[in-house]
Amino acid sequence: MWQNLIETLDKLGEVYDKLAGLGERKRSALVGIDMKGLSDILDEEQLLTAKIQKLEQKRVELLRDLSKSDKTLTAATKPKDFYRKAPAPAAENLIRLHERLSKNVERVVTIRNNNQILAQCALDAVQGQLNRLSGAAVEPTYSGKGAGIVTHQKKFDFKA
């Protein structure tokens, strides 16, 4: 079972590596406003997140099964302490894979957060352009929800 856990952690690390690469490609697509490229990246990202979900379920099942065999392990046991219960060569490998996975997850989260900021800025720019084109004006006060109050000029006289 330890070998299955090693393989699962290794696959998770690989998938998170790919997800980080997609995140960097997504940043380029957002900056370049490449909607077709962004759509393709989102499709790939969806497949990778489905793989991660399956691998995570497998990892949890393996950890649950392994913890049943050792009564000293509890839900509060830290991962490195858990992995040290494995036979010598497997324990070192598990700890190394766990550290790799932790770094990859942190990297993916950082890239995702940066991309969210870029996406929000792009949406704000589009909204500003649409408001400018429609003759909208933002009032110097805020609504009860803290958002700006936007008024639209009457451009057409429908009675004419």
124 vs 57, residue with greater confidence: 57
Multiple choice CATH, 2-135, 3.40.50, 3.30.70, 1.20.1530, 1.20.58: 1.20.58
Give me the pLDDT at residue 89, please: 82
Q: Is the pLDDT of residue 28 over 70?
A: yes
Give the residue extent of every domain in the chain: 2-135
For 71-130, how does the pLDDT look when each residue is reduced to its tens digit (9 = 90+)?
776 667 787 777 777 778 888 888 888 899 899 999 999 999 998 998 888 787 777 777
C-alpha to C-alpha distance for 92 and 102, rounded to whole angstroms: 15
Confidence of residue 68 (pLDDT cuts 50, 70, 90): confident
pLDDT at 54: 94
